[in-house]
Amino acid sequence: MRESRVSTDDSQPNAADRSALRWEILIVLAVTFGASGVRAVLRLVEAATMPEDLNEQTTTLNARQSDLAWLDPAFQLISSGVLVAWGALSLFLLIRHVPPRLGELGASTGPLLRLWSRGAPGRPVHPVLAPSWRDLLPGLGMAALIGLPGLVFYVAAVQLGFSREVIPTGLDRSIQDLVLLVLNSWANGFAEEILVVAWLCTRLRQIKVPWVWVFVASAVLRGSYHLYQGYSAGLGNMVMGVVFVWFFYRTGRVWPLVIAHGMIDTVAFVGYQVIGSTPGL
């Protein structure tokens, strides 16, 4: 039986390849953030039917998953591992078939991705997404650009009744739990930015979706799986999604977005533990 796979030779997929890419999009989203989005919408519907106002309800991120202190870290690691696997899956699929230049996807400037070639002599060389130290500064800048206004927006939304009170973590302040929070922060950043930005935007452009709808699709997906926190969380994350896709569109770089997301979550989760849960602060 001949192996059927998406071509890695042509930057512009043929009709059969585009059909395979459509199925890839549907299947990957169905088992990752698409399913999370549907679940989050249902959680918001459930919250809206509660007798308490939305801002009188709470939702806890990084909640304990076991009453057994020695077992909970295993569950936390599994949750982080699933996120890493989602990001790795989309990264693997991109390696199988990624256009060499952003211009071939109809973007304004620059390469789609810095390509890092590896392979044995005489065998096809597959491009690999390559992080760079030069991603650090723009990543930190994006974290500040999104994180600080996002905090103000969240506080205002809670006061106006458009959001639940979000408790960043239900874990303890032990070193072990702080390490778990950091791991989960970066697992979130890796999964979301590789899948929701790099993979999804690339695939949609490969099947000829106009850039304006690529922006919409990525932003709506990002907003959808945050809706369990409240209406404002969906809207705020859609805005974040537009900004992040714009950065990817202009630069072709995804790793600054991973850094930004990881830093935002680390500050939120660990900062809450170290400062926010301290009596008197």
Break the chain into its structural domains and give their ranges: 15-275
Range list of H helices, the chain? 15-31, 33-48, 72-96, 136-160, 175-192, 200-206, 211-224, 231-251, 255-271
Tokens of 99: 């256009």
pTM: predicted TM-score of the whole model, two decimal places: 0.84
pLDDT at 16: 76
Q: How far apart are CA 270 and CA 180, in angstroms?
A: 10
- Residue pair 125/117 in contact by the 8 Å Cβ criterion: yes
Q: How do the pLDDT tens digits run along the chain, 281 residues long?
A: 443 333 333 456 777 788 999 999 999 999 999 999 999 999 999 999 999 999 899 998 999 999 898 999 999 999 999 999 999 999 999 887 766 554 445 444 333 433 333 333 333 333 336 778 899 999 999 999 999 999 899 889 888 888 898 888 888 778 898 999 999 999 999 999 999 999 999 999 999 999 999 999 999 999 999 999 999 999 999 999 999 999 999 998 999 999 999 999 999 998 887 776 543 33
Compute CA distances 200 → 46, 89, 95, 229, whole Å.
29, 12, 13, 24
Q: How far apart are CA 190 and CA 81, in angstroms?
A: 11
> DSSP 3-state assignment of 198?
helix
Number of residues that this document lists for the chain = 281
